Chain A
C-alpha cells in the first residue's frame, strides 16, 4: 500500500509531519523469522516515549476513533481524546504499525533509538525526502531504498481548495472525504468549530491512525485567515 506516500503538499509543508512505521516481511519467500508481533509492540512502546501525535495499528485503528454511544445522552457527552493505551493494548497481529511525529527532534530521536534497538523489522520514514534523509544522517544510517511520490498528475499548486486535498490525503486510503475536509474548513472559518475540534473530527475517519492532527490544525489556521 502507499497510504502514507502521496500526501499532497510541498516539501516545506511536511516540516511537522513525520510518519515512522514498521512492518515485517510477510511473504514466506523472504524467509524472515522471529516474533514480529512482539517486536512491533516494542516498536510502539518505544514510539510512545517520544511524544507522537498519533499511534496507529492498520488493523485495529489509531489513537483517535469514532465513538459508539449506547445512551441517548451520548449526544451531549464529551468527545473522545487520543488514547495510545488502547492502540498498544489492541495489537493482536503483526502488520503495519505507525507513529506520527510533529517535530524533527522527536522523530530523529526515535529513529536513532530504533537503530540502537535493532528489532529486525523493516522501518520506513514517510515525509519529505530531506526530512527522512536528515533523520537517517542523524542516526548514522545509510538509506536503503526510496519510493518517490511523483504527486497527483493534474493537481497544481494553485488548484482551488488545495488545502482540502492536503487534509484529505493525510488518510492515504481515501477514507477522509474532500467534501468533509472542505466542510471542516468552512466550520473553522465561520468559528463554528476550533481547528483542534475539526482536526479531531477528521482524524476519526483515518482507520490506520496516520492522520497528523498538528499539521491539520496548522492548515486549518491558515485557511481561517485566508492564507493561500
Chain B
C-alpha cells in the first residue's frame, strides 16, 4: 500500500485505523507515511476507510487557517477525505503479507483461501475430526499484534518435533519446505502478517501435551497465541471428554463455535421450494 503525497492532507484519520499502527504523520514531510516493515498489506486503510474527493490544496489551506485559530479540521473518523491511498504492486515475498492479512484475497502464494481451513465448521460433512480426536487451531498475531513467519516456524518446529502432522490444506503448511521438521521457506521468514493459523489433529490423549508445547513456545515469540480446540460431540450432542482436560489445565472456555450438524452430502434442491417472504425493511434496516 502507498499513500499519494500529492493527495494526502495529513488529517491523521488513517493513523488510527491501521491495525498494525504502521501509519504515522511524518513531521518533516507533513504527510501520512507507512512503515513498510510493519505494514502487513491488509488493505484495511484502502478498503475500510470511506473515500471522499475534497481538493487537497484547499483542504490544506483550510486546515492551516483553522489551526491558527486553534480550530481543528475534523472529517468523519472513518474517512480519507482526499482518497489518498493507492494499492502497490506486490511481489514475492511481500505478496504473502497480503494473502494472510486481507481476508478478501485468495492465496496467490498458496492457492488456498483464508488464514486457515474449514476446521470443524464442516465436520458434519467432512468427518475431519472424529470421536477421540482433537483438531487444534493455533493462531499467532491476534489481537492487532501481527506475527512473522519465523514465529510460526518456532511453533511448527516444536510441534513437528513432537511428531504431529500438519493439516495439508492449511496455508502455513503449504509454505513449509519440510513438514517433518516444520521448516518454513527461508525467503519469507521475516515477512509479517496480520495473523495465521497452524492446524493439527491429534488423539485426545495428547491434548495436554500439545497445549504444554504451545505454552512453552509462546514464551519465546514476540506475539500473542490464541488456541482453538475442535472436537466431535457424542450422539446426545454432549462433549465431556476434552472440556475436563482444558479445565484441568486452568482454562474456562467462554466462547465456542458450534457446528449444529445440519450439513448433508446432498444440498437440498430448491427448484420447487416455496419462496421466502421478503421483509419490507431490507434497506436502512
Contacts and interface: CB of A to CB of B under 8 A. Distances in A.
Contact of A175 (B48, B232, B237, B283): B48
Interface string B258-285: 1111111111111001001111001111
B226 interface: yes
Interface string A88-109: 1000000000000000000000
Given A1-B115, A124-B259, A207 B104 contact: yes
Nearest to B215: A153
Interface in B1-60: 15-19, 21, 42, 44, 47-55
Contact of A14 (B81, B135, B194, B255): B255
Interface residues of B, number: 98
B235 interface: yes
A150 B246 contact: yes
A31 to B, nearest CB: 6
A191 interface: no
A48 B141 CA distance: 34
B121 interface: yes
Interface string A134-174: 01100101111111111111110000000001001100111
Interface residues of A, number: 112
Nearest to A58: B103
Interface in A65-88: 66-72, 74-75, 79, 81-86, 88
A214 interface: no
A47 to B, nearest CB: 10
Interface centre among A86, A145, A182 (most CB of B within 10 A): A145
B270 A168 contact: no
A207 B47 contact: yes
B267 A24 contact: yes
Contacts of B194: 173-174
B258 A125 contact: yes
Given A48-B278, A72-B55, A124-B257, A5 B228 contact: yes
A57 B263 CA distance: 19
A24 B122 contact: yes
B251 A150 contact: yes
Contacts of B173: none
B34 to A, nearest CB: 14
Interface centre among B77, B81, B139 (most CB of A within 10 A): B77
Given A148-B256, A177-B18, A183-B77, A122 B229 contact: no
A119 B263 CA distance: 8
Given A33-B267, A149-B254, A174-B142, A42 B230 contact: no
Given A85-B282, A149-B254, A1 B260 contact: no
Given A72-B54, A144-B232, A151-B254, A42 B284 contact: no
B260 A174 contact: no
A155 B284 CA distance: 37
Contacts of A223: none
A67 B75 CA distance: 14
A183 B90 CA distance: 31
B42 A34 contact: no
Contact of B236 (A117, A142, A168, A174): A142
Given A48-B278, A150-B246, A165-B143, A120 B264 contact: yes
Nearest to A115: B262
Contact of B233 (A24, A143, A179, A208): A143
Contact of B21 (A35, A168, A174, A177): A177
18 contacts: A2-B228, A6-B226, A25-B122, A32-B125, A35-B270, A46-B276, A48-B282, A51-B279, A71-B53, A72-B52, A75-B81, A125-B258, A145-B259, A148-B255, A149-B253, A150-B227, A176-B48, A207-B103
Task: Please give me the 4 A-B residue pairs with the lowest Cβ-Cβ distance, nearest first.
Answer: A34-B267, A142-B237, A144-B261, A122-B263
Interface of A: 1-11, 14, 23-27, 29-36, 38-39, 42, 45-46, 48-49, 51, 58-59, 63, 66-72, 74-75, 79, 81-86, 88, 111, 114-115, 117-129, 132-133, 135-136, 139, 141-155, 165, 168-169, 172-180, 182-184, 187, 193, 201-202, 204-205, 207-208
